[in-house]
Amino acid sequence: MRTLVTGGAGFIGSHLCERLLADGHEVLCLDNFFTGRRTNVAHLLGDPSFELLRHDVIQPVLVEVDRVYHLACPASPVHYQYNPVKTVKTNVMGTINMLGLCKRVGARLLHASTSEVYGDPAEHPQTESYWGNVNPIGLRSCYDEGKRVAETLCFDYYRQNSVDIRVVRIFNTYGPRMLADDGRVVSNFVVSALRGKDLEVYGDGSQTRSFCYVDDLVQALRGMMNQDSEVGPVNLGNPSEFTIGQLAELVIELVGSSSAVVYRELPQDDPTRRQPDITKARQLLDWEPTTDLRDGLGRTIDYFETLLQTDSVDT
Ligand code: NAD
Ligand code: UDP
């Protein structure tokens, strides 16, 4: 099985490449290194079944593969808002290029969509049948609407060209190899707590998210790719819901930090509540996240502790 992972040098992509190699795949990892790092896959470079290609998905790529995990896209609000036009191009042109590749070579494509397609959800928890509440012209829309049109493209290539698609909507996922200066809440809080700096909670901290440990997610991604009965969309995430205030207190406790919590302005269109309904994934994939937040945060804290000792990371 020859498998292409776009965005393979990123946080989730690098864990996925690792698991696919362990499953016996030949893995072609494609990345433009915007938010991904060679160091995330450096330990795989010696494996004869692993190949790393610097490429931007906005440009077509001609390779022979059986499967494509399409993850290429910055995922943190800080990074996807850095160059919003590029984020839209990555989602639209990048997804067209990868679907076109799959059409030519007859490969199956799994698209990494997001809970952001639900926007600031008026339904709670979110099921796949909910169409969402997205501001089409806001600061987050380059990502939200980009991912929505990427889903549209997947389904149109499926209906029009019989491309074999799988679409998953990933909810907040965390773990080792997030960037220390990534801007996402788990890495921000852990890095601040380890440095004894204030943890900055945006808004009053009452907004909620449901955090999934990366190993649980990678297992579900493989399960979704390997099953033949459902194209999706399927929610993937951990339904345990926490306020951002609770997360801050937990990180401070687990790090044993003297950091304080301070409050900053809430960014535009920040979703108020988010929790996946994973009934479909449970039934289809016989899957359940097994890592609770304390365990997952513990492993993430260990990773950043080592990183901060060896790296000069500026946040
Ligand atoms: P990440 O930023 O670590 O990974 C994204 C990878 O894509 C990086 O390696 C980056 O360099 C690469 N990339 C970006 N633009 C590219 C381009 N134009 N061409 C080639 N490579 C490009 O983020 P992640 O958390 O690993 O997210 C991976 C995927 O999962 C993304 O598509 C993201 O939208 C989706 N997702 C992640 C989460 C989460 O909580 N982590 C939630 C929902 C969806
Ligand atoms: N957040 C925060 N402090 C930070 C980073 C994020 O309070 O240092 C909040 C953010 O406003 C949001 C939640 O944490 O309500 C999750 O943010 P993240 O960027 O991780 O993910 P997303 O908003 O895309 O779910």
The predicted-structure confidence for 93-122, as pLDDT tens digits, reads as follows 999 999 999 999 999 999 999 999 999 999
Indicate which ligand has the atom closest to the C-alpha of 94.
Answer: 1
Rounded to the nearest angstrom, the distance between the alpha carbon of 200 and the centre of ligand 2 is 10
Q: How confident is the model at residue 313 (pLDDT cuts 50, 70, 90)?
A: low
Percent of the chain with pLDDT over 70: 98
CA separation, residue 189 to residues 55, 61, 198, 237, 259 (Å): 32, 38, 9, 20, 10
Q: Which helix (H) or strand (E) holds 54?
A: strand 50-54
Q: Which helix (H) or strand (E) holds 199?
A: strand 199-202
Average pLDDT over residues 218-243: 98
Query: Does residue 294 sit in helix, strand or coil?
Result: helix
Burial class (CB in 10 A: 0-12, 13-18, 19+), 233: buried
Which domains does the chain show, CATH number per domain? 2-175+212-239+275-290 (3.40.50.720)
Q: How confident is the model at residue 312 (pLDDT cuts 50, 70, 90)?
A: low
Note the pLDDT tens digit of each residue in 285-308. 999 999 999 999 999 999 999 999
Q: How confident is the model at residue 315 (pLDDT cuts 50, 70, 90)?
A: very low
CA atoms within 13 A on the CB side of 220: 32
Reference 239, options 274, 287, 189; nearest CA is: 274
The whole-angstrom distance between residue 98's C-alpha and the CA centroid of its chain comes to 18
CB of 257 shorter than 6 A to ligand 2: no
Which of 120, 139, 172, 184 has most ligand 2 atoms within 8 Å of its beta carbon, as the pocket-test mutant? Answer: 184
Instruction: Inform me whether the pLDDT recorded for 314 exceeds 60.
Output: no
Rounded to the nearest angstrom, the distance between the alpha carbon of 270 and the centre of ligand 1 is 19
Rounded to the nearest angstrom, the distance between the alpha carbon of 185 and the centre of ligand 2 is 5
Average pLDDT over residues 153-170: 98
Instruction: Inform me whether the pLDDT recorded for 54 exceeds 70.
Output: yes
The whole-angstrom distance between residue 46's C-alpha and the CA centroid of its chain comes to 26
Residue 143 among the catalytic residues: yes
Average pLDDT over the chain, rounded to whole?
Answer: 96
Instruction: Inform me whether the pLDDT recorded for 311 exceeds 90.
Output: no
Average pLDDT over residues 209-214: 98
CA distance 190 to 199: 9
Select which of 69, 80, 118, 143 is catalytic.
143
Average pLDDT over residues 156-184: 97
Contact present, 28 and 63 (Cβ < 8 Å) = yes
Q: How confident is the model at residue 310 (pLDDT cuts 50, 70, 90)?
A: confident
Contact present, 203 and 263 (Cβ < 8 Å) = yes
